[in-house]
Structure 1
Amino acid sequence: MRKDDLADCLWNKCTQNLKSSLMKRFCCVFEGLAKAGNPTLLNQIYTELYITEGGDGETNEEHEVRQIEAASRKQRIQEKTVRQENIFKASSEKDKPIRTVMTKGVAGIGKTLLTQKFALDWAENRSNQDIQFIFPFTFRELNVLKHKRFSLVELVHHFFNESKEAQICRFNDFQIVFIFDGLDECRLPLDFHKNEILTDVTESTSLDVLLTNLIKGKLLPSARLWITTRPAAANQIPPECVDIVTDVKGFTDVQKEEYFRKRFMDQKQASMVISHIKMSQSLHIMCHIPVFCWISATVLENVLKNRQGRELPKTLTELYIYFLLVQSKVKQLKYEEGAETDLTWSPDSKKMIESLGKLAFDQLQKGNLIFYETDLAGSGIDIKAASIYSGVFTQIFKEESGIYQDKLFCFIHLSVQEFLAALHIHLTFVNSGVNLLDDKQPKQSISKAFKNQPNMRKLHQTAVDKALQSPNGHLDLVLRILVGLSLPANQTLLRGLQTQTADTSQSNQETAEFIKKKISDGLSAEKSINLFHCLNELNDCSLVEEIQQYLRSGSLCTRKLSLAQWSALVFILLSSEKDLDVFDLKKYSASEEALLMLLPVVKASNKALLSDCTLSEKTCEAISSVLSSQSCCLREVDLSHNDLEDVGMEALSSGMLGQQCGLESLRVADCNLSQKSCETLNLCLSSNSFRLKSLDLNHNFLQDVGLKQLSDGLKSPYCKLESISLSACSLSEQSCETLASALSSPSCKLRSLNMSHNNLGDSGVKRLCVELENKHCGEHRLKPDVRKYFCELELDMNSVNRQLQLSDNNTKIRQVDDEQPYPDHPNRFQTCWQLMCRNGLTGRCYWEVEWKGAVLLSVSCKGIKRSGKSEACRFGRNDQSWTLECSDVFGFAAWHVNRETTILGSSAAHRVGVYLDHPAGMLSFYDVSSDTLEHLYTFCATFTEPVYPSFGLWSGASVSLCSAASKKPAA
């Protein structure tokens, strides 16, 4: 046999042996635990995870419950997703092949299972067969080798004997993938700046030097690397060493349901579990984490089987107490022959729980989630005892072995460690009076009186203060569980672990009041939200119920809310799926104060409707910070009809240029912007990080010089803008030439253009039309040719005020002194001489009316008040109507939310045309003469429901509806 053939034969055999080994290693998993219970086939239990592409390698040190809450909201928006088998083919936008992938995700989200599934699919010849070798490592295993020296070849041979037997020492000839799972558990220094350079795969060195050179690409640059980590450790690797970052967001709502239906053979029981989890926001959010789904399933399955009239656990505290009870019961059945329904704690169980609680608390204080022998010794536990605990409480505490059988231990999930830490704090205080969270309290000298009657208020207040001092929320979950443990029902479940039962009814009430006072101090949204979760654990929902009552009655926007009430509103809205799609500030209060209070809700929403809310540049600074946030979901923002000015646009642009910003649509019509804002937007359009596709700049004084700046941006290869609206921006024929030049650029992606109500001139329009046709633009509006949308109106007879008289087949309305005999109807206007049409409009419509005297020409929402104070029901004086007032004496004026805008000029013809573009949010009024339409005013708004043509009349006035046959010839 030739030498080359022999080599091929050897590596083929090595590949097959490696595949066989990986199949044995990964085909079965012990769900939630290690080497305990019955193994499950990975392919049978595996549920596809929600993985997104396009994150960054920045660290996120927030508590992972906060991160999973943010991720659960972000799953509602469309993100670029990737499947595990395509992890190295993730981005079509990359010019070069992907060498290194970093995958981030919170503890228990499924990162390890993801890498195991990737390796198993390769081993079973399901995917990625262009790869010759996959070598999966874990940092847990590598940690125990940190004092050894290896070459890359030696390291591979140590872990994968198949490669040693095949004598493979040259890796350059093969397609190789190295998987390094659990960067957050790494105890190597990983000094990328000071470590010496290594390029020889056969040269021995420290493990730290070997790994840093492999990751940097100095060593074996042809290899591909997949590194997984929790977000807090992502910055251990320099960003230039990572080609693409993906995020594991866990289960979507659909995937949660799929998991539980796989987990429970009885589908009726599965449906019951799914419904129960949906009812509890805390459980529903946590179930984005696959391990928590398993914990929930374990508990609920057991409680359903032996419930004996008991309710299913609804809070995190209840769930974890039951989880501990289930494990204790398994121990009793297996080792102590206890009854299956016995919920008491045996002396052995009690001792083990005390030891594990101390370990959990001590190591949580140090930030350790993986424990080696030295860590155990620091908490007073020896290796033998730890092995016994992992063998008894198999689903809580687990033992693993590295390459040399060095033992390491961990809890199955961070939240389990936090629960046991909280339990340890609680039991220590109840049993001995020692407050472990109070650094100033002497641990030994506790008065006998205090020990006999422990007051939980002191412990809880210390815990609240301690949690609020943490900038990243590391004690959030501990605090929630700690206050929940004091509920009488939970005290009953803990009987046997406590030497005495505290009377907690009074102290719990005092704790709840203390928490409410803290909420009133104006905390950050994340901190106040966690305190509301604490109130839920205490069964105190008074603040939330008060705000919900305001929302139900529709009185919220008329009330002056306290800081605590604003926080309660934020908590309610963030807990609601339906309220997070579109955020409409006017539903709460059309003010800057309200917006600043509700920023966390804005951040979690897909669309923010903020038009005509008296906002200023201060708002732009706040919105900019929201857009820069990692967890921002915003895709559309409407800031029209606010006096933002150029300084506001400048502030807004800094957020839009951030790597995290996903904003696609911005409306800033009538915001008092000038050419200076165009300079700002030009810089944005020329930036690769700017993702805006639709921009509305209507009714701003941009002028030709401003459009020149914008056009330069439109030519940029980075510009993604597809639609721009420049109606009434004081543009001339010169702008047409400028814009035509931009449209002719191969980089320009513009598909929709509106330049109506500008003095473009015929030659300018023709020049643009030619370029638009060449560009195959889907839509362009250069002149206000709106009469083609003419529609006939029909009056709503049930809305007509009794002092309005109808004639001419109900097309003429006149104000009269005598009341007309109209029947009673709830839709009839009582206090204002007004009426509405039956036509609910949602598209593009145009109509004309003739008027005499003084009248209000309006479009209104169906829900406008019909009686009461005149501001609530009169057209133009509220946020439910947009109105042009026409008067023989005073001329024209535009009205909305009781704000008047005077319009210069008068009308001899007394005929007005009204054009509604509902999808674009534009309502325009024209003075109609014999052959022309003269633009009077345009409202820019966001219409979220059908609107109705409406009319109001002052004393002696009249209005007549014009038919299509009577309309004057178009221009």
Structure 2
Amino acid sequence: MDQCEDREEGAPLWKTTHTQPTGPGPGPGPSRVSIKSDDSMDRGIQFKTGCVCEPQVEQQSSEVPSDPQHQTQMDSAFKETQKAALKEHLFDTLKDLVDDDFKEFKWFLNNEKPTIPKSRLEKADRMDTVDLMVQTYYTDTPRVTVTILEKMKKTDLVKKLSKNIPVSEENINQGRQELKVNLQQKFECVFEGIAKAGNPTLLNQIYTELYITEGGATEVNQEHEVRQMETASRNPHRPPPTITCEDIFKRPPDRHEPIRTVLTKGVAGIGKTVLTQKFSLDWAEDKANQDIHFIFPFTFRELNVLKEEKFSLVELIHYFFDEIKEAGIQRFEKLQVVFILDGLDECRPPLDFNNTQILTDVTKSTSVDVLLMNLIRGNLLRSARLWITTRPAAANQIPAQCVHRVTEVRGFTDPQKEEYFRKRFTDEEQSNTIISHIKTTRSVHIMCYIPVFCWITATVLEDMLKTTEGGELPKTLTEMYIHFLEVQTEQKSVKYDGRSETDSPWSPETRKMIESLGKLAFEQLKKGKLIFYEKDLTECGIDIRSASVYSGVFTQVFKEERGVRQVKMFCFIHLSVQEFLAALHVHQTFINTGVNLLSGLLSSVWSKLSKDKTVKFYQTAVDQALQSPNGHLDLFLRFLLGLSLQTNQSLLQDLMKQTGSSSETKKKTVEYIKKKINENLSVEKSINLFHCLNELEDRSLVDQIQQYLRLGGLSRSVLSPAQWSALVFMLLSSDEDLDEFDLNKYSGSEEALLNLLPVVKASNKAVLSGCNLSERSCEGLSSVLRSQCSSLIHLDLSTNDLKDSGLEILSDGLRSPDCKLETLRLSICNLSERSCEGLSSVLRSQSSSLTLLDLSNNDLKDSGLKILSDGLRSPDCKLETLRFGLLNQCKR
């Protein structure tokens, strides 16, 4: 649920705020709701020890009360020492004004509320003016002074005053309470589906805990995000979430240094933004993290608009958060402040930490990117805490030394998917039907790890259950997205075009709109861009005046946002929607014009497409996707091949020209994909090609393997690389639990193990005993142990002729910091005392998790056991059980 703040009607769990700027620089100020309501009057906050204490005082209005008794009480509360210091700093500031400037200052002062009588101001010198201001404005005097100096363009004096005047408790309380109300109003409601006026959904009602893990180092997985989600889906053995939203800055028990900067990774639509909004809302509602004085949420989309402007850190805060400026808060060094920087992957241009000036003064103006880099490095306001969210591909923009914790949002677990749909559909029969269907459709079930895809799926299935009695529900991603586009088009047709529900929704205007969106989707997909500006739309032939219409009628496909400068930004609601429309555009362009946009060859227009040319078109798409090192065309390819089926084309018959693709075209495309699978591709590429076969409704390879397994003849069969890949795909796509993988159930051989290593990696326990393994197997197993994605905790290699050379290779994997292995069985593996040195080094390793080691029935000799004892004595050794000899067992 990566949310874009504030959307127009129809956005899935989004809403859009059209804010306007204030503060330095051009542009009108933001429209803010006043915080002078009764609710905010008596919300006293108790800070934890060591923070600025906040007295339980009534919220003060910006208008000073005229009641003399109240005025006396306030004057008494304003300590004399603070008053004296304040007067001194104000006088020092006004002293720097020349006579004409001082006269101008008094003119502006005469227009402030409450008003100082003009007769008293006319003859007042600088000292008298300071006395009059403090008598009239009390603790609000610094704010009034700064406001006037800013109007006079006296930036240097504003900075001087900001450095010298301490922040009063009253000002902190005022700014804090008003900021809380602002954030509460901003984040308490979200909208799902077609927003109903006056009926918003409360975030707290629909929020489901996300699975958040420690993300390790800032190294980046550059693969397509669907590949990443599929990898995650193969690992059902995940411990309960150890990091909750409210504990994101909480120091783990094994760490001594505080956490300043948290970097949270997660694919698009996985819930990063809603996580930060929940954090802010809980603070604003006094539910969590009340030791924090201020939370300042920023998005890079908003900051992008200011890339040509210059700000100091204080000015940037005042620019976005008017209540802080109104409270006159200029200093934050002694306060607990949290900056949220959401969407690093959308930062334009990327931050260049290697070539940037050093900035330590929070009042010195510079470009926004330099400001952010110095804030992240800790040069600016080192006492502040930062929470940065990003898609994985951009995570390495932040230097590792600047990040104190890396977390990853992994989306919904299987139980959370079910919880989502049960919340979404209150009718139990309906929710059971939908959940059951999703579980039987593996590609859809995998994608539902992404919360926004859950919403797309729910939208489609809800509509189809209403309109297709007894009809088949979509089983492939292509079908799902075709129906999704249809649902949105029908709603647009009825709502905006005045058509009845029985009329075709595909008017000429709508067809042209979809064609334009498809071209934009493809052109920007080639560039790797997810956020578009006016220039990007113009390049694709979309008039900026029409863009608002597009986003108005297709708010669930294409949406428009506005930054603080009212600069328009556009995007699709999710990358998968962009990929689907891009595939639709490429397919339509080929059918209509004969131009293959993937090959770059501009062929002449064909009056009739030959079968060979059509087959070549799909083969080119397969080749292009396989050439991508990170799988960035994987999902695009699935959609494109899915659109080749006549059954899918008929669903869009009013939109797209039919190819008349014959069964021969499909057959040749399937054969080409199988040929590619036979070429010993990587696991990820093979799996995507099997998903492509599913989109083409071909399961022949998988059916072959299932037939072998049913007949119990897999161990006697000589499988081709494609058939081994089919077995891997089948096992990894199965709903059956991969808690234990026993190689002997399939084919107890070294060849089988090397082909099934991806399954071993995804399993919690691997039983490989008595499978005629050698040191060649140890190389593959060592790579599994070194993998961050490995789930392997228990490994049984008993009764294999590994020898000392094999164990030496295996030990390299056991020493890896990513190795999670807890039990290792090496009984009867032809080991000698030579193996003990490597195992001893493993036991001494800080990263080792081994608690059980079985070395029984190996000729280790006393010398080998002595070497092992050195590892056992290490303070880092976690071993609890060691077995050796024939029957002896040693307990630590």
**Which bracket does the TM-score occupy, shorter chain normalised?**
0.7 to 0.9
| Residue in 2 that maps onto 1:498 | 656
User: How do 1:601-680 and structure 2 match up within 5 A?
Assistant: 601-680=759-838
Q: Which runs of 5+ in 2 are unaligned?
A: 1-76, 84-138, 140-167
Q: 1:447 is matched with which residue?
A: 606
Higher helix content, 1 or 2: 2
2:180 to 6, 19, 22: 19
Match of 1:263 among 424, 427, 430: 424
What's the offset of the Cα at 1:699? Answer: 2.1
From 562, 572, 577, the equivalent of 2:730 is: 572
Q: 1:530 to 1:342 in 2, by over 3 A?
A: farther
Cα deviation, 1:203-225, whole Å, max 9, x if unaligned, reads: 11222221112112222111111
SS in 1 for 2:705: helix
| Mapping for residues 260-299 of structure 1, pairs under 5 Å | 260-299=421-460
CA-CA distance at 1:606 after TM superposition: 0.6
CA distance in 2, matches of 1:454, 1:330: 39
Given that 1:430 and 1:502 are in contact with CA atoms closer than 8 Å, whether structure 2 keeps it comes out as no
The answer (yes or no) to whether the contact 1:581–1:607 under 8 Å persists in 2 is: yes
Decide which of 96, 108, 121 is 2:282's aligned counterpart: 121
Q: SS state of the match for residue 312, structure 1?
A: coil
Is residue 583 from structure 1 mapped to residue 583 from structure 2 by the alignment?
no
Task: Report which stretch shifted further, 197-206 or 652-661.
Answer: 652-661
- On the 8 A contact 1:668/1:696 being kept in 2, the answer is yes
- Alignment of 1:681 onto 2:839: yes
1:33/1:412 contact within 8 Å kept: no
- Shift in alpha-carbon separation, 1:554–1:499, aligned structure 2, 3 A: closer
| Contact 1:350 1:497 survives alignment (8 Å) | yes
Instruction: Trace 1:53-68 onto structure 2 (pairs within 5 A).
Output: 53-68=214-229
State TM-score, norm by structure 2.
0.79
Specify the alignment match of 1:595 in structure 2. Answer: 753
Correspondence 1:86 to 2:247: yes
- Deviation of 1:249 after TM superposition, in Å, equals 0.9
* Whole-angstrom CA distance in 2 between matches of 1:379 and 1:630: 41
- Matched letter for residue 45 of structure 1: I
SS of 1:74's partner is coil
> Secondary structure at the residue paired with 2:766?
strand
Which residue does the alignment assign to 2:161? none
Deviation at 1:338, TM superposition (A): 2.0
Matched residues, number: 731
- Deviation string 1:811-866 (CA, Å, 9 cap, x unpaired) is xxxxxxxxxxxxxxxxxxxxxxxxxxxxxxxxxxxxxxxxxxxxxxxxxxxxxxxx
Q: Report which stretch shifted further, 148-157 or 31-40.
A: 31-40
2:891 is the counterpart of 1:755: no
Contact 1:101 1:246 in 2 (8 A): yes
Q: Which residue of 554, 564, 568 maps to 1:407?
A: 568
Structure 1 CA distance for aligned equivalents of residues 260 and 629 of structure 2? 35
Give yes or no for contact 1:456–1:508 (8 Å, CA) kept in 2: no
1:478-493 matches, within 5 Å, as: 478-493=636-651
> How big is each residue's C-alpha offset from its partner over 1:509-529, in whole Å with a ceiling of 9 and x where there is no partner?
111111111111111111111
CA–CA separation in structure 2 for the residues paired with 1:144 and 1:38 = 32
Alignment map for 1:468-547 (pairs within 5 Å) = 468-547=626-705
Deviation at 1:654, TM superposition (A): 2.1
**Are positions 1:460 and 2:460 aligned together?**
no
Output the CA distance in 2 between the equivalents of 1:32 and 1:378. 30
Shift of 1:2: 2.5
Cα 1:123–1:703 shift into 2, 3 Å? same
CA displacement at 1:455 relative to structure 2: 5.0
User: Whole-Å Cα distance in 2 between the matches of residues 126 and 358 of structure 1?
Assistant: 47
Give the ranges of 4+ consecutive aligned residues of structure 1 lying more than 4 Å apart after TM superposition: 3-6, 32-38, 341-344
Q: Is the 8 A contact 2:265 2:407 kept in 1?
A: yes
- Aligned 8 A contact 2:649 2:658 in 1: no
204, 225, 237: which one pairs with 1:76?
237
> How many Å separate the matches in 2 of 1:348 and 1:490?
22
Q: Residue in 2 aligned with 1:876?
A: none
Q: Structure 1 residues 716, 379: closer, same or farther in 2, change over 3 A?
A: farther
| Distance in 1 (alpha carbons) for counterparts of 2:730 and 2:504 | 36
Q: Residue by residue, what CA displacement relative to the aligned partner does 1:283-320 show, whole Å, maximum 9, x if unpaired?
A: 11100110000000111111111115531111100000
CA distance in 2, matches of 1:652, 1:261: 46
Give the conservation status (yes or no) of the 8 Å contact 1:36–1:394. no
| Structure 1 residues 184 and 54: alpha-carbon distance in aligned structure 2, compared to 1, 3 A threshold | closer
Instruction: Tell me the SS of whatever aligns to 1:374.
Output: helix
Given the alignment, which residue of 323, 342, 345 partners 1:181?
342
Shift of 1:634: 0.7
Matched residue type, 1:510: K
- The answer to which of 220-229 and 203-212 deviates more is 203-212
336, 347, 352: which is aligned to 2:513? 352
Secondary structure (helix, strand or coil) at the match of 2:624 reads: helix
For the pair 1:200 / 2:361, whether they are aligned, the reply is yes
Q: Equivalences for 1:343-382 in 2 at 5 Å? A: 344-382=505-543
Whether the aligned pair in 2 keeps the contact of 1:53 and 1:80 (CA below 8 Å) is no
C-alpha RMSD of the superposition = 2.0
1:311 aligns to what? 472
Per-residue deviation, 1:621: 1.0
Q: CA offset at residue 37 of structure 1?
A: 11
Counterparts of 1:36 and 1:215 in 2: how far apart (Å)? 40
Does the residue aligned with 2:234 lie in a helix, a strand or coil? helix
For 2:352, give the aligned amino acid. Answer: D
Stretches of structure 1 that go unaligned for 5 or more consecutive residues are: 729-753, 757-767, 778-971
Aligned to 1:861: none
1:10 aligns with 2:171: yes
The partner residue of 1:226 within 368, 374, 387 is 387
More strand by share: 1
Instruction: Map 1:793-804 onto structure 2 (within 5 A).
Output: none
Relative to structure 1, is the Cα distance of residues 280 and 342 closer, same or farther in structure 2, using a 3 angstrom cutoff?
Answer: farther
The structure 1 residue matched to 2:579, chosen from 412, 418, 439, is 418
Change (3 A) 1:652 1:36: farther
31 and 722 in structure 1: CA distance in 2 versus 1, 3 angstrom threshold: farther
SS of 1:461's equivalent in the other structure is helix
Deviation of 1:142 (Å): 1.1
Relative to 1, partners in 2 of residues 1:377 and 1:35: Cα closer, same or farther, differing over 3 Å?
A: farther
Distance 2:180 2:819 in 1: 42
Contact 1:306 1:341 in 2 (8 A): no
Letter in 2 for 1:442: L
Aligned to 1:719: 877
The structure 2 residue matched to 1:160, chosen from 321, 325, 329, is: 321
Sort the Cα spacing of 1:466 and 1:32 in 2 relative to 1 into closer, same or farther, 3 A.
farther
Q: CA shift at 1:13, angstroms? A: 1.2
Equivalent position amino acid for 1:559 in 2:
S
1:343 and 1:509 map into 2 onto residues whose CA distance is: 33
- CA distance in 2 between counterparts of 1:522 and 1:32 reads 44
Cα distance change, pair 12–565 in 1 and its aligned pair in 2 (3 A)? same
Deviations 1:3-45 (A, max 9, x none): 5695111111111100100011111113379999964211111
**Aligned AA for 1:311?**
E
Aligned-partner SS, 1:410: strand
Q: Is the 8 A contact 2:731 2:759 kept in 1?
A: yes
CA–CA distance in structure 1, aligned partners of residues 753 and 781 of structure 2 = 9
Contact 1:150 1:204 in 2 (8 A): yes
Residue of structure 2 in register with 1:107 after alignment: 268
* Segment of structure 1 superposing worse, 464-473 or 624-633: 624-633
Counterpart residue identity of residue 31, structure 1: E
Shift of 1:86: 1.0
